C-alpha cells in the first residue's frame, strides 16, 4: 500500500449541535448564503432555528432554496448569482446530499467568471478545476451521501441530459455540523435510501480496490454491518435517536476517505452507470444504486470471486468450500439483495417504470463521460459497453 490521507473538514457531531451554527459560521464570514432543498427544513422548523442561531451570532442570511434531488446546474448558476449580488462570504448547506453538492459548486462558481458546467467532468476536452471557493459549512438533514465531509459533488444538466461529478481540494467543507436530531423527521423511504447509498459507497471501494488491505476491509465491513443493524431500526422507529446517530456516522465514514485510504480503488462503476440512468429519468439516486449494485456484483464476482466470498462469509456468516467458491459468493449477493428488499428499496428497473428501451444509450453515454485508456469503464473488472448492457439488462 502506498497512499496519502488528508481530510481538513472540522467535524462537530452530536444531538443539539445545530445551536452552534452561528458561532461556527462567524469564524468564516459575515453574510451566509443558506442553501436549502424542497422545503422540508422549513416545515420541520430547522430552517428557522438555523437562521436564529446565525442572527444571534451576528451573521446575516441570504437564501437559495429549491435545490433538486438531482441538483441541477441551473440551480448552481442561480445560487452563485445570489451569493454575488448579496455579498455573501460563506456558504451553508442545510439539507441532504443534493443540497450539499449544489452548495459546494456554488461556492466555487462565485469566484469563477465562466459557466460552472465547465467544472463538471462530462467528457469535454478541457475541464476547469477550481483552486479556490468560498468557505463551506455543511449541516446534513439526511444520512446518506457523506457529502458533508468530502471534496466531491455531483450535478445534473437537464438541457444535455448529463449527470456527472467534480472533485477538488477546495470543495472540502470547513466544518461539517452533524446533528442526528435533524434526521428524525426523515420519512421511512428516504431513510432506507440513505442506508442503501452509504452501503454502496463502501462496497464500491471494497470490491474495486487492491488486494491485501485487511484493515481497510474490516473498516468497510464494520460500516456495512452497522448500517444493516441500525438502518432497519431507524426505519421502523424514526424517533430512535441512537439508531439515527449510528446511521448518520456510518454515512459520513463511508465517504470521508477513511475507509478507502490505502485501498487503491480503481473506479466507481455502479455510481457512474447510475448517474447516466438518473440523468435520463431523474430517479432518486439511491433507488438506482439499489437496482444496479446487486446486478453489478453478480457480474464482478466472476472476476474477483475471493473478495465476494469474503463478503459473503463476513457479512452474512456463510461458509465457503474454498476461497474461489462462486456459489457462496453469489449466495452472499442474493442475501444482500434480500436485505435491500427488506427495507423496501427497489431491485429491478421495472419497479420504477423503466424498461430496456434506452439501455444501449446508457452504456454509450456512461463510457463517453468516463473511460480508461482502453475505452472501458474503470472498475474491477473494467467494463466494456457490452458488459454495462449485460448488467443493466439483468436488472430489468
Give the DSSP letter string of 28-61.
T-SEEEEE--SSHHHHTTHHHHHHHHHHHTT-EE
Closest among 383, 210, 239 to 306, alpha carbons compared? 210
pLDDT value at position 313? 98
- State yes or no: pLDDT of 1 exceeds 90: no
CA angle 148, 95, 33 (to 5 degrees): 90
Question: How large is the average pLDDT for residues 349-376?
Answer: 97
* Numbered ranges of CATH 1.20.1090.10 in the chain: 188-394
Render pLDDT for 124-165 as a digit per residue (tens, 0 to 9): 889 999 999 999 999 999 999 999 999 999 999 999 999 999
pLDDT (0 to 100) of residue 363: 98
pLDDT tens-digit map of 272-293: 999 999 999 999 999 999 999 9
Integer CA distances (angstroms), 23 to 18, 30, 92, 110, 307, in order: 10, 11, 13, 24, 46
Across the chain, what does the average pLDDT equal?
96
Q: What percent of the chain has pLDDT over 90?
A: 96
Return the pLDDT at 156: 96
pLDDT confidence of residue 266? 86
Convert 151-164 to b/e letters by CB count within 10 Å (16 or more is b): bbbbbbbeeeebbb
Q: How far apart are alpha carbons 396 and 391 in whole angstroms?
A: 9
* 188-394 has CATH 1.20.1090.10 classification: yes
pLDDT recorded at residue 158: 94
Question: Is residue 171 predicted with pLDDT exceeding 90?
Answer: yes
Q: Which residue has the higher pLDDT, 349 or 124?
A: 349
Residues 33-71 as b or e (16 or more Cβ within 10 Å = b)? bbbbbbebbeeeebbebbbebbeeeebebbbbbbbbbbb
CB atoms within 10 A of CB 77: 16
279 DSSP assignment = H
Question: Average pLDDT of 41-59?
Answer: 97
pLDDT band at 264 (very low <50, low <70, confident <90, very high): confident
CA dist 194 to 104, 134, 164, 289, 378, Å?
A: 20, 28, 20, 11, 25
Residues 6+ apart with CB under 8 A from 283: 277, 352, 354
Q: Which fold has domain 10-183?
A: Rossmann fold (3.40.50)
**pLDDT at position 123 over 90:** no
Nearest to 61 by CA among 71, 74, 47, 72: 47
Q: Which three cell numbers stand for residue 265?
A: 480503488
Per-residue confidence (pLDDT) for residue 271, from 0 to 100 = 97
156 SS3 class: strand
Spatial neighbors of 45 by CB under 8 A, at least 6 apart, are: none
Phi, psi of 256 (to 5 degrees): -95, 10
Q: How does residue 259 score in pLDDT terms, banded at 50, 70 and 90? A: very high
Which residues lie closer than 8 Å to 171 by C-beta, 6 or more apart?
104, 105, 107, 108, 130, 133, 136, 151, 152, 153
Mean pLDDT confidence for 48-73:
97
Q: Do you find a cis peptide bond into 97, omega within 30 degrees of 0?
A: no
- For 199-228, how does the pLDDT look when each residue is reduced to its tens digit (9 = 90+)? 999 999 999 999 999 999 999 999 999 999
Q: Residue 277 is placed in which grid cell?
A: 440512468
Range 314-318 average pLDDT: 98
Q: Which helix (H) or strand (E) holds 285?
A: helix 285-301
pLDDT at 125: 83
How far, CA to CA in Å, does 50 sit from each of 19, 141, 249, 315? 7, 12, 21, 39
Residue whose C-alpha cell is 426505519:
235
| Residue ranges matching CATH 3.40.50.1970 in the chain | 10-183
Show the beta-strand stretches assigned E in the chain.
Answer: 10-13, 31-35, 60-64, 90-95, 136-140, 152-157, 162-167, 175-178
Write the CA distances from 68 to 294, 313, 350, integer angstroms.
Answer: 27, 39, 24
Amino acid at each position: 500500500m502506498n497512499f496519502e490521507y488528508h481530510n481538513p473538514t472540522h467535524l462537530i457531531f452530536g444531538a443539539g449541535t445545530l445551536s452552534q451554527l452561528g458561532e461556527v459560521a462567524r469564524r468564516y464570514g459575515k453574510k451566509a448564503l443558506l442553501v436549502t432543498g424542497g422545503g422540508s427544513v422549513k416545515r420541520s422548523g430547522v430552517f428557522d432555528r438555523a437562521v436564529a442561531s446565525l442572527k444571534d451570532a451576528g451573521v446575516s442570511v441570504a437564501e437559495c432554496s429549491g435545490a433538486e434531488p438531482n441538483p441541477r446546474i441551473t440551480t448552481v448558476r442561480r445560487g452563485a448569482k445570489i451569493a454575488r449580488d448579496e455579498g455573501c462570504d460563506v456558504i451553508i448547506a442545510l439539507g441532504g446530499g443534493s443540497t450539499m453538492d449544489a452548495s459546494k459548486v456554488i461556492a466555487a462558481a462565485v469566484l469563477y467568471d465562466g459557466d460552472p458546467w465547465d467544472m463538471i467532468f462530462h467528457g469535454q476536452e478541457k475541464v476547469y478545476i477550481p483552486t479556490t471557493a468560498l468557505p463551506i459549512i455543511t449541516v446534513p438533514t439526511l444520512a446518506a451521501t457523506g457529502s458533508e465531509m468530502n471534496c466531491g459533488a455531483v450535478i445534473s444538466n437537464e438541457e444535455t441530459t448529463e449527470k456527472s461529478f467534480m472533485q477538488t481540494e477546495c470543495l472540502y467543507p470547513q466544518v461539517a455540523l452533524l446533528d442526528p436530531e435533524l434526521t428524525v423527521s426523515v420519512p421511512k423511504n428516504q431513510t432506507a435510501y440513505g442506508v442503501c447509498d452509504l452501503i454502496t459507497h463502501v462496497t464500491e471501494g471494497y470490491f474495486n480496490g487492491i488486494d491485501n488491505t485487511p484493515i481497510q476491509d474490516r473498516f468497510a465491513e464494520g460500516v456495512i454491518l452497522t448500517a444493516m443493524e441500525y438502518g432497519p431500526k431507524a426505519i421502523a422507529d424514526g424517533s430512535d435517536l441512537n439508531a439515527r446517530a449510528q446511521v448518520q456516522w456510518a454515512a459520513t465514514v463511508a465517504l470521508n476517505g477513511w475507509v478507502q485510504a490505502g485501498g487503491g480503488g480503481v473506479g466507481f462503476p455502479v455510481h457512474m452507470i447510475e448517474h447516466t440512468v438518473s440523468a435520463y429519468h431523474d430517479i432518486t439516486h439511491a433507488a438506482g444504486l439499489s437496482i444496479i449494485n446487486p446486478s453489478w456484483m453478480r457480474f464482478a464476482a466472476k472476476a474477483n470471486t475471493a473478495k465476494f466470498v469474503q463478503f459473503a462469509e463476513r457479512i452474512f456468516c456463510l461458509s465457503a468450500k474454498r476461497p474461489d467458491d462462486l456459489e457462496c459468493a453469489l449466495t452472499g449477493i442474493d442475501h444482500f439483495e434480500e436485505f435491500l428488499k427488506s427495507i423496501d428499496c427497489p431491485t429491478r428497473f421495472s419497479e420504477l417504470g423503466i424498461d430496456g428501451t434506452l439501455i444501449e444509450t446508457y452504456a454509450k453515454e456512461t463510457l463517453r463521460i468516463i473511460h480508461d485508456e482502453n475505452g472501458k469503464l474503470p472498475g474491477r473488472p473494467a467494463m466494456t459497453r457490452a458488459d454495462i448492457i449485460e448488467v443493466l439488462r439483468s436488472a430489468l
